[in-house]
C-alpha cells in the first residue's frame, strides 16, 4: 500500500485546491473502510491521499427547526446513537446502524457510504426517503444534488474531478410523518443486504396518505426510488389491499441480479415481503408522531 503524498487540509478551499492540482491521482480518505482495502489490493494506485478529518464541521450533526445538516465525515455509529435524531430522523439512525459490524460503524462515514455508491448501501437509504440533498464543493464553489440523483451506477456517483462531498441537508418532516428502514440479510447487519426497503409516510388527520417515499437497496444498479408506488399511495388510506398492491409494484420495478446471496427471483419476492413490512411500520410511526 503505497502513495507518494499525504495531505490533511484544514479548509474546504485547500482541499479543493489539492484535488484540482492532482486530479484523478488523488483520493479522499475519511473512515478508510473502502479506500484502504483498495489500496492494499492495488485496485487503486493514487499518487496523493487527502485526509479530510481536520476540515471544520465535516463531521457535524446539527438539528434545527429547518431540518438536519449531516457532515459527510460523520461516523455511522455516531449517527446511529445520536438521540437528537430520534424524534424526526429515526430512519437515518436506523439505516446507519445497519451497516456491517460495530467495528466498521465506528470508523465508516455517511459520506463514504454514499460516495462508494454500492447498490446495497444501507446508510444512504434513510437519506433517500427523507429527501436529502448532497452539498458538493469545488474550487468553483458549491452545488446541491438531490440524493436520488447522486448515484449513477455501481460504484459511480456525480462527483466530478476536483469535487468533494461536504454534507447532506435534510428538510424537517411534516407532522404525521413516520419512516423506517428494513434490511434483510442472512447473518444480520454484518452481511451485505440481500434486499433493503426504506419507507416514509405522511398522514393527514383522517389517515389519508399525503406524501410517500419508498426506496430500495440491492435490487438495481444503484439505490432507487419507487415513484410509481409512491404515486399509488397518495390520497389513499393504507388498507391491506393497497399494501399488497404496493409490494407488487416495488417487486416489478426492481431489476436484481443473482449472486451468492440470492437469486433475482428470490430478491423480488423479498422486496414484496419487506415492502409490506415497511409500509405497516411506517404507518405505525406516523400515527404515533
Report whether 33 contacts 133 (CB < 8 A). Answer: no
DSSP designation for 193: P
pLDDT digits (tens, 9 = 90+) for 46-71: 999 999 999 999 999 999 999 999 99
Output the CA–CA distances (angstroms, integers) from residue 223 to 114, 127, 155, 215, 227, in the order listed. 10, 11, 11, 7, 13
Position 82 in a domain: yes
10 pLDDT more than 90: yes
> Among residues 82, 95, 182, 203, which one has the least CA distance to residue 147?
95
101 pLDDT more than 90: no
DSSP H or E run through 12: helix 12-22
What pLDDT does 1 receive?
Answer: 61
For residues 256 and 274, state if they share a domain: yes
For residues 129 and 197, state if they share a domain: no
State which residues form the domain around 27: 5-51
- Average pLDDT of the chain? 95
| Rounded Cα distance, 119 and 2, in Å | 29
190 pLDDT more than 90: no
Non-local CB neighbours of 41 within 8 Å, separated by 6+ positions: none
Position 56 in a domain: no
For residues 197 and 145, state if they share a domain: no
In this prediction the pTM is 0.94
For residues 46 and 65, state if they share a domain: no
What pLDDT does 65 receive?
Answer: 96
Question: How many domains, in total, are found in the chain?
Answer: 3
For residues 244 and 225, state if they share a domain: yes
Position 190 in a domain: yes
| Rounded Cα distance, 187 and 82, in Å | 25
State the CATH number of the domain containing residue 22. 3.30.43.10
Averaged over 87-108, what is the pLDDT?
94
Amino acid at each position: 500500500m503505497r502513495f507518494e503524498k499525504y495531505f490533511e487540509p484544514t479548509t474546504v478551499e485547500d482541499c479543493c485546491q489539492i484535488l484540482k492540482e492532482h486530479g484523478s491521482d488523488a483520493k479522499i480518505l475519511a473512515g478508510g473502510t473502502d479506500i484502504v482495502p483498495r489500496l492494499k489490493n492495488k485496485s487503486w494506485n493514487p499518487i496523493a491521499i487527502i485526509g479530510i478529518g481536520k476540515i471544520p464541521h465535516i463531521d457535524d450533526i446539527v438539528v434545527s427547526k429547518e431540518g438536519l445538516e449531516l457532515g459527510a465525515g460523520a461516523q455511522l455509529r455516531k449517527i446511529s446513537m445520536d438521540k437528537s435524531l430520534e424524534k424526526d430522523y429515526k430512519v437515518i439512525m436506523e439505516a446507519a446502524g445497519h451497516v456491517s459490524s460495530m467495528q466498521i460503524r465506528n470508523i465508516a462515514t455517511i459520506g463514504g457510504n454514499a460516495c462508494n455508491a454500492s447498490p446495497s448501501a444501507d446508510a444512504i437509504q434513510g437519506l433517500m426517503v427523507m429527501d436529502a440533498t448532497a452539498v458538493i464543493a469545488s474550487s468553483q464553489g458549491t452545488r446541491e444534488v438531490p440524493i436520488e440523483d447522486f448515484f449513477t451506477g455501481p460504484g459511480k456517483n456525480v462527483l466530478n474531478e476536483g469535487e468533494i462531498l461536504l454534507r447532506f441537508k435534510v428538510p424537517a418532516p411534516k407532522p404525521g410523518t413516520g419512516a423506517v428502514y428494513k434490511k434483510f440479510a442472512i447473518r444480520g447487519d454484518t452481511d451485505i443486504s440481500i434486499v433493503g426497503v426504506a419507507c416514509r409516510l405522511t398522514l393527514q388527520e383522517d389517515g389519508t396518505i399525503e406524501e410517500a417515499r419508498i426506496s430500495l437497496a440491492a435490487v438495481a444498479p444503484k439505490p432507487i426510488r419507487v415513484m410509481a408506488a409512491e404515486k399509488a399511495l397518495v390520497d389513499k388510506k393504507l388498507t391491506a389491499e393497497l399494501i399488497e398492491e404496493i409490494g407488487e409494484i416495488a417487486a416489478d420495478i426492481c431489476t436484481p441480479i443473482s449472486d451468492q446471496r440470492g437469486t433475482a427471483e428470490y430478491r423480488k419476492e423479498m422486496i414484496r415481503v419487506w415492502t409490506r413490512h415497511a409500509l405497516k411500520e411506517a404507518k405505525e410511526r406516523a400515527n404515533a408522531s
